Chains A and B, each alone.
Chain A
Amino acid sequence: AQSVSQHNHHVILSEAASLELGCNYSYGGTVNLFWYVQYPGQHLQLLLKYFSGDPLVKGIKGFEAEFIKSKFSFNLRKPSVQWSDTAEYFCAVWNSGGYQKVTFGTGTKLQVIP
């Protein structure tokens, strides 16, 4: 069974600091990788996704992620965070098994201090 690990459960940053959230997955086959964000009281929104091709993926709101196949990692980065980035971030894996099932990491709560 596939699993997703997010190493940081709670991150506190000051505005303008750089962000990197770690994500590792344990599935050896073809996977689609995602980062979702959940703002307080809101639903899951897609930040970015990787299916194939360029391992450096750019998403919305200045976020990017790098897929490193040899490390089974898909870390999320942002050069300069804003207070409005305060949210919970979920790494997720969708294995190409012919049906819809997303395996999520445990999430990282990001708090940005003005």
Chain B
Amino acid sequence: QKEVEQNSGPLSVPEGAIASLNCTYSDRGSQSFFWYRQYSGKSPELIMFIYSNGDKEDGRFTAQLNKASQYVSLLIRDSQPSDSATYLCAVNVNSGGGADGLTFGKGTHLIIQP
């Protein structure tokens, strides 16, 4: 059974600070890792994906992957009130050409305090 674990929060971070969101996964065969943001009442939207160990940066966002520890994180620099949302970690085991869906964590509720 594939499992993806996240702290549900809420995680409260002052505006302008770095928000750090963490995720662990159970399946060592996992190949692809995704972070989605979901505002209340809205659908998930992709922020970043990462496949290789290390860091991947995109603007204010940095995804970090450590396959040995089965750990993936998302850092948000210069946090803004508009970053307040639920952040979903998702994992795909399939390394081949097909897509068999994602396994999601339950999400971390992030609150950026002005």
- The answer to whether A and B assemble together is no
